[in-house]
Amino acid sequence: MGDVEEELEKLRAEIEKCRRCSLHKGRTKPVLGEGPAPAEIMLVGEAPGYWEDQQGKPFVGAAGRFLNELLALAGLKRSQVYITNVVKCRPPKNRDPKPEEEEACAPYLERQLSLLKPRLICTLGSHATARILSFFGLKPQPITKIHGKVFKAQSLLGGILIVPLFHPASALYKPPMKSLQFEDWKTVGRLLSET
C-alpha cells in the first residue's frame, strides 16, 4: 500500500468514528470515497444516499449507474476517477446537507484534495460546486449558469481545472436533464483529449 492509500485509510478510520455533526446519528456506513490514489481526476458529489449508506461506497444506486454512462461519454471508466462527496454521512430522507454539516465535514474533503492532488475536479450538483469553487478562491455561481464550463484555479500544487456538472440524480427525476448532462460530459471528454 502506498503512502497516499495509507493516509486515506487513516482518514476512513477517523470518519467511522466521527461525530462532528448530527448526521452520524442516522448513518449505517460513512462513505469516504473510492478510486485511484493519487488521482488525476476527482468527482465530488453532495452526500451518500440509501444504497451508498448501506454499502459504504459512493454512487452505487441508480444515480451511480447513470454516472457510469456519463463517464463513458467522456471516454472514462469508473476505475480512472476518484469519487467522493461533500458530506460523508447520509442525510435523513436524502435531504440536502445543511451548511453547518458541510462545514463540519469540510476538513475531510480538504485532506482528500491534498492527498489525491487531482488536476481536474468535476463537481456534481450545486452543493459540491459551491464548496469546491469557494475552496479554490472562485466565486460560487448557480449551477444552471455555469454547468459544463471550465474554470481554472491555482492551488499550492499548481494549476487545477474545475468543471461544474449537474448531479446525475437530477436526470432520474427530470428526464429532459439527460441531454444537458450528455452535452456537459462530452465537454469533459473534449477537455481531456486536449490536455
d(CA 13, CA 16): 5
Binding-residue pattern over the window 15 to 54 for ligand SF4, x denoting contact by CB under 6 A? x--xxxx-xx-----x------------------------
Residue closest to 60 by CA, chosen among 191, 99, 68: 68
Comparing CB distances to ligand SF4, the nearer of 20 and 147 is 20
**SS3 per residue for 4-46:** HHHHHHHHHHHHHHCCCCHHHHCCCCCCCCECCCCCCEEEEEC
Comparing CB distances to ligand SF4, the nearer of 7 and 69 is 7
- Asked if 88 is part of the footprint of ligand SF4 (rule: CB under 6 A), the reply reads yes
**Binding residues with ligand SF4: total (CB under 6 A):** 14
The least CB distance from residue 15 to ligand SF4, in Å, is: 5
Q: What angle do CA 156, 160, 166 make, to 5 degrees?
A: 130
Task: Kindly list the residues in this chain that would bind ligand SF4 in the complex (CB under 6 A).
Answer: 15, 18-21, 23-24, 30, 87-89, 101, 104-105
